[in-house]
Amino acid sequence: MKKIIGIFIFILLTTTILPITAIAGDEENPEISDEMGDAFGNIDINSVWFSEKSEEPDFLFVHLKINNPRQNKLQQTFAVFWENNGIQYACGYFIGLHMIGLELWTAGEYIKKASGGGPNYVEIDKGTYDTSTGIIKWKIPKEIIGNPDSGEVLTKTWSNAFQRYGLLGLIGFTRPIIDSLFNLVFKNSLWDYAPNNEDYGLDYIVQY
């Protein structure tokens, strides 16, 4: 009898394939986490996570959470980067003068040295920035980020945020000397990178 039970267990172990489930990130389990206080609160990145919806399988949602957002959003830029199949993609949110609607939401293939991120880095429909929670959310058509299929992996995830000042800041330019001065006087930075070491965040496995 023991021999029969042993054979039965052996058959089960050798013929049953256990499903491997990839758990997608969320606010409690983000792909990217960052320490608090390494930049001014309105650009201090808390975390970043990717998500999808079964009812909207053609979109990738990217969420970036700021520690201490301000109601008066002025001259700030937030971005998230990742790679898929060896190509870098990104999404960005540029704020000039929020009170008059000078905002820009972008996403697509990102080429660092190309003007404006390159020809395939384009404007997308407006996302959301909830200043009560500090969560910025992009809704990105997958067709502009390489049409990743279910099971493909987004790798080398990271994020940055920065604050600009002055007339040049209104059109997107930063001034490193100002950041150096703020660091010297206030012991804090107008830039934040997440994660803040030289590594990347976790990978994200495409669900749909």
Q: Does 69 have pLDDT greater than 70?
A: yes
Dist. CA 128–CA 185, nearest whole Å: 33
Dist. CA 152–CA 20, nearest whole Å: 15
> Over the stretch 88-107, which tens digit does the pLDDT of each residue have?
999 999 988 655 568 899 99
pLDDT at 178: 57
Q: pTM higher than 0.85, yes or no? A: no
- Cβ neighbours of residue 52 under 8 Å, at least 6 residues apart? 24, 59, 60, 61, 206, 207, 208
Q: What is the mean pLDDT of the chain?
A: 83
Q: For residues 75 and 164, is the Cβ–Cβ distance under 8 A?
A: yes
Please state the rounded mean pLDDT for residues 9-38. 64
Structural domain including 180 reads 2-205
Number of domains in the chain: 1
Supply the DSSP symbol for 44: -
Helix runs in 59-194, H state only: 166-170, 176-186
